[in-house]
Chains A and B, each alone.
Chain A
Amino acid sequence: DAGVTQSPTHLIKTRGQHVTLRCSPISGHKSVSWYQQVLGQGPQFIFQYYEKEERGRGNFPDRFSARQFPNYSSELNVNALLLGDSALYLCASNPMGQPYEQYFGPGTRLTVT
């Protein structure tokens, strides 16, 4: 079975631009979470979606938004990009919102110049 997939792998954007990152969960998994990992730090929770509804939100500004589609894939959107948004964005899926079965994708490396 395919694991969690994310696209694109790498992305370079300019300050002020908008970006959309995509994630496809493992088949059968209905929950998707997004994490931001700044260089030299551990991942920080951004959003969790389960059955297309937002179930949790971390301490991130309103420039960050996300949604989950009927096929359980998800998008993370970031508006008005800042240099500090440069990071590895990780998507994780799990079957039924259980906390102990998070499977991570390879991430999208976003660089803001």
Chain B
Amino acid sequence: AQSVTQLGSHVSVSEGALVLLRCNYSSSVPPYLFWYVQYPNQGLQLLLKYTSAATLVKGINGFEAEFKKSETSFHLTKPSAHMSDAAEYFCAVSGNSGYSTLTFGKGTMLLVSP
């Protein structure tokens, strides 16, 4: 069984500040981990993914995440927030078989103020 916990349903930052969105996972098999972003009234866009290669993963729009097995964490960071980063962010986990499906967290809404 797999599960994802995202700490904080809302995170507020000022433009230019560090963004840190937290994700902890539980998995009985070596996991694949993902961060998706969802803008209002849109589908999900993949930001980055961890698939058992490098533990520090770089994604689109300046985001990156680090896989820490000992902490079962996969936190998302961005050094400097931009107004356009305001959206909802979802962490997801899947198994590593061909038919594994995604288990999502409840999401974190990122609010960016000028």
Contacts and interface: CB of A to CB of B under 8 A. Distances in A.
Interface stretch (A60-68, A70-78, A101-109): A101-109
Contacts of B36: 104
Among B46, B99, B103, B107, chain A packs the most CB atoms within 10 A around the CB of B99
A42 B107 contact: yes
A99 B100 contact: yes
Interface in A77-113: 90, 92, 96-100, 102-107, 109
A97 B99 CA distance: 5
B41 to A, nearest CB: 8
Contacts of B34: 100
Given A42-B104, A100-B94, A50 B99 contact: yes
A24 interface: no
